[in-house]
Amino acid sequence: MNGRTLMEDHEKFKRGMELFLKRPDFSVGMTPSEVVYTEDKMKVLHYIPTVEKPHPVPILIVYALVNRYYILDLQPDKSVIKKLLEEGFDVYLIDWGYPSGADRYLTLDDYVNGYINTVVDKVRERAGVDKITLFGVCQGGTLSVMYAALHPEKVKNLVTLVTPVHFDTDKGLLYIWAKSLDVDKIVDYYGIVPGDTMNAGFLLTDPFRTMIDKYVGLFEHIDCESGDVECELRNEENIKNFLRMEKWIFDSPDQAGEAYRQFVKDCFQNNLLIKNKMVIGGKTINLKNITMPLLNVMAEFDHLVPNDTSKPLSDAVSSKDKATLVFPTGHIGIFVGSKSQKEVCPKIAAWLKPKSFLDRTGEEKPVQEGEEKPVQVGEEEPVQEGEEKSVQEGEVKSVQEGEEKPVQVGEEKPVQEGEEKSVQEGEVKSVQEGEEKPVQEGEVKPVQEGEENLNKKMLNKKRSVAHQGRKNVTIQPE
């Protein structure tokens, strides 16, 4: 290093600081959406479809409690949400919001059997289907796995993205640290666990890259000749992209103490989920109850959710139709990296599209044994030739290669001999034997045999006295 190099670096730093001080306007989560349901701090977003006729089976995205969902919609050219919409999917998402003191007593039972179950029913009702696709991301994927095992009758497809289920590993610092964490002392002292404290732990798992290298890299790219307007505009856009990511990294909601306590103890410290020994709401979670198609997606260089924590899920479930995809990227790169738009989203969509249509009765098509060939790790294309079941006489024509033929809105389905007439627009669907009656807006869903009564009265009883007084449910008109 010489004096000239020091002067050049000083000039780059000076220009970078000038750009930062200008504080360019930037936004996150810009894909158009509407709030269709609220409960306590939680909101449900429905993204406005960008195709005329979206696939009939909707997607519900469940993101983690520890960060904010907009990493999936960071900017227009780096948006998982936007890409799914372009692929023809009908997308809903749970925004957990920011827990406060009144939420300290919320448990995993409240999140899984309470909030998620309520939202699943709401999405099923709005879409007019019995089952939906559950798309879990990171810790939200772990919660989705719990839900799918407890309520398999409501889940048609399960997609897990960088999702930990096996926590007994030494491949990541979080898993090593958590084993000796005195979580009782933390929760008893704070009640609501500070998000900033948890975020500091995440940053320390890779301190050089997260706290030094990224800033050095940013200033190295700020190098324009005086008067080069195009370069200056490019620099401004780079600063905006950098600030979007910084906003997400440091936007860490506080955590409901009791849910945090159980998650650390049962998952990180005792690894009960993968052992089928974890209990929430008085029910044991048995992963063998997961029989729906499963797509397990991982990032090869993930330092927060190592592949060893995600891979065991495929062997733990009973699904005959299951696939695994591993991409050469990191935990954040799988959402916003170059491969996210070019490879990750298209391959997820290719696997999911054939499973997002209805059969002639309006029910979801069941997967037959051997119908879908699992995708092997590192395999290029998730959809294999001959994967779709051939059309049998009397069945509705299946989707041909390159063709997407969803059920048309308002189209009358043919009535088969001995079969009850399908639902017409504006009519109430009759209940078939063994079929669950869809919940109409304003109608209380009946409790099914063997299913826990999750109506509001029982849900309020589970929550603390302080929490009961704050409960606020709002349903937006469809």
* Residue 296 three-state SS: strand
Cα-only R_g, the chain: 24
Which helix (DSSP H) or strand (DSSP E) does residue 95 occupy?
strand 91-95
Please pick, among 138, 224, 231, 267, the residue that the annotation labels catalytic.
138
How far apart (Å, rounded) are the C-alpha atoms in residues 164 and 145? Answer: 10
Q: Are strands 283-284 and 294-299 parallel, antiparallel or unpaired?
A: unpaired
Which tokens hold the place of 328? 């050469």
* Residue 295 three-state SS: strand
Kindly give, in sequence order, each residue whose CB lies less than 8 Å from that of residue 465, ignoring residues fewer than 6 positions away. none
DSSP letters spanning 413-451: PPPPTT-PPPPPTTSPPPPPTTPPPPPPTT-PPPPPTT-
* Residue 144 three-state SS: helix
Catalytic (active site) residue 138: yes
Check residue 180 and report its DSSP letter: T
* Residue 44 three-state SS: strand
Angle at the Cα of 300 from the Cα atoms of 351 and 171, rounded to 5 degrees: 130
Kindly give, in sequence order, each residue whose CB lies less than 8 Å from that of residue 251, ignoring residues fewer than 6 positions away. 67, 68
Q: Are strands 283-284 and 279-280 parallel, antiparallel or unpaired?
A: antiparallel
Check residue 364 and report its DSSP letter: B
Check residue 190 and report its DSSP letter: H
Check residue 275 and report its DSSP letter: T
Q: Are strands 294-299 and 155-161 parallel, antiparallel or unpaired?
A: parallel
Sign of torsion, CA 451 455 460 461?
A: negative
How far apart (Å, rounded) are the C-alpha atoms in residues 329 and 213? Answer: 18
**In sequence order, what are the beta bridge partners of 301?**
none
Catalytic residues: 138
